[in-house]
Amino acid sequence: MLVEESLYEASKGMKPKKPYWKITTELDLVEEEDKVHPTDSLLVAENKRNMMKAMIGRLKKRAEVLIEQSANKNFIGTKGSASKD
């Protein structure tokens, strides 16, 4: 949910828009050696940023699905078979 909140705030102008890889770094979603450092070569830094962007993209998609499922009362593991009591 932290990922979704950060992305929501960035998209709504609540904070200056940040690149996905910076959000990943700020939320400590990656190990220290996977973060971009000033000593990294351009290629290594680009590869690290791409990996972090992909990670945030996957987390964002998963969060959107979970939010949609909870809005529709389809919780994890129910595969759309919410009880209609």
Residues 25-46 have pLDDT tens digits of 888 889 999 999 999 999 999 9
pLDDT band at 85 (very low <50, low <70, confident <90, very high): very low
The number of domains in the chain is 1
Do residues 59 and 20 make contact, with C-beta atoms less than 8 angstroms apart?
Answer: no
> Quick one: what percent of the chain has pLDDT higher than 90?
28
Whether 81 has a pLDDT exceeding 50, the answer reads: no
Residue-range definition of the domain harbouring residue 9 = 2-71
Note whether residue 62 is domain-resident: yes
In a domain? residue 78: no
Cα-based distances in Å from 14 to 1, 10, 23? 17, 6, 14
Q: Rounded to the nearest 5 degrees, what angle is found at the Cα of 7, between the Cα atoms of 4 and 10?
A: 150
Q: How confident is the model at residue 14 (pLDDT cuts 50, 70, 90)?
A: low
Mean per-residue pLDDT over the chain, rounded: 78
Whether 79 is in a domain gets the answer no
The verdict on residue 63 lying in a domain is: yes
- The answer to whether residue 37 is domain-embedded is yes
